[in-house]
Amino acid sequence: MAVALKVYIDTRRKKTVKSDSDPSFETLPVITQGEVYNLNVYFVEDSGQGIANPFDLVTLSGLGLEVSVGNKNPVAAKSTPAIFQNSFSVNTTLNRFEGSLTIADSDAETLLGSNTSVKTSISFKIIDGSTEQDYIFDVVLSASVAPSSNTAPTPAIQYVTKTGGDQTYVKVVGSAGSVIILTSPDGTKQIALGVDDNGAFTSDVIT
């Protein structure tokens, strides 16, 4: 299932903020290997109206967006992102870019290596003809919590020893004459379970 993610970018301060009405700094969430993120990306600029109405949405008509994560080869002269997407559409009614960013397993492994998570960067680049404006932020990439393989593991028969059973399962050890009381789902009836002096099982309806 895809993960919905809204991103608000303050174009003057070049930081992510909570919303177009809240200038508080917002840390980007951890992105996870194997996930698909449905992005709604807003760019905001100072409104000049003070804290009550801090931002105006940037008009995006005629602009393009590229989103990339990490760098396949950090020492190369030209950056080649490990994860890249430029198929974003402009919603002119809501003034935002919309599209999906897939964190493919193989692309994420390029950045993760043997690590369970890495700190990397994510870029939101506005394209206006031959002009580009890049907004780059720190982000954490996490390895998938589940194996990417679709092959189910082969079940194996396992036997539990008495010691293992005693450690694993709940058992009741009561004092002499004690019983276990069970209550019906509707709470109106109860039954007492026990054992008599001959070792026979007993059950008595209480209510």
Chain segment 84-119, per-residue pLDDT in tens: 999 999 999 999 999 999 999 999 998 999 999 999
What pLDDT sits at residue 26? 95
What pLDDT sits at residue 184? 80
pLDDT tens per residue, range 105-159 = 999 998 999 999 999 999 999 999 999 999 999 999 999 876 555 666 666 666 6
Q: Flag whether pLDDT at 1 surpasses 80.
A: no
CB neighbourhood size of 108 (10 A): 26
Fold of 3-142: Immunoglobulin-like (2.60.40)
Of 186 and 46, the structure prediction assigns the larger pLDDT to 46
What pLDDT sits at residue 52? 86
Of 166 and 17, the structure prediction assigns the larger pLDDT to 17
Does the pTM exceed 0.85? no
What pLDDT sits at residue 56? 96
H or E element, residue 82:
none
Nearest C-alpha neighbor of 135 from the set 156, 121, 145, 146: 121
β-bridge pairing 55-57 and 36-46: antiparallel
What pLDDT sits at residue 80? 77
Of 179 and 36, the structure prediction assigns the larger pLDDT to 36
- Separation between Cα atoms, residue 113 and residue 116, nearest integer Å: 8
Q: Which amino acid is at 78?
A: K
Q: Are 96 and 41 in contact (CB under 8 A)?
A: yes
β-bridge pairing 22-25 and 31-32: unpaired
pLDDT tens per residue, range 179-207 = 777 888 777 888 878 888 887 888 877 76
* Segments making up each domain of the chain, as ranges: 3-142, 162-205
Q: Flag whether pLDDT at 6 surpasses 70.
A: yes
Here the tokens at position 94 are 């809501």
What integer is the mean pLDDT of 50-67? 94
What integer is the mean pLDDT of 67-94? 81
What pLDDT sits at residue 142? 95
What integer is the mean pLDDT of 13-38? 95
